[in-house]
Amino acid sequence: MPMIRLLIAFACIALGAIVGALNRQAAVVDLGGAQIPTTLGIALLVALLLGVLLGGAAIAVSVVWPLRRRLARIERHGAPTSTNGA
């Protein structure tokens, strides 16, 4: 399993390098109060990374944390037992 993760990580790094190399045009990211001069490839990779991080954080806040709280509450009070013979 660790070998598969390593291969996937190298594939993602290679794809990122290819995207960065193929999109070398100059671009300016305007943030309202500031302008950041960069290349198009870097801007694409940063936008993708921010989207992945924000999406993961949204999933963690909306799904994982409530499930962990529920599990902790069940472990603290004891799980209900089934009496239907199943």
Provide mean pLDDT across the span 65-69.
93
Question: Domain spans of the chain?
Answer: 2-77
In tens, the pLDDT along 29-58 reads 999 999 999 999 999 999 999 999 999 999
pLDDT at 78: 78
SS (H, E, C) the chain: CHHHHHHHHHHHHHHHHHHHHHCCCEEEEECCCCEEEEEHHHHHHHHHHHHHHHHHHHHHHHHHHHHHHHHHHHHHHCCCCCCCCC
Its pTM stands at 0.71
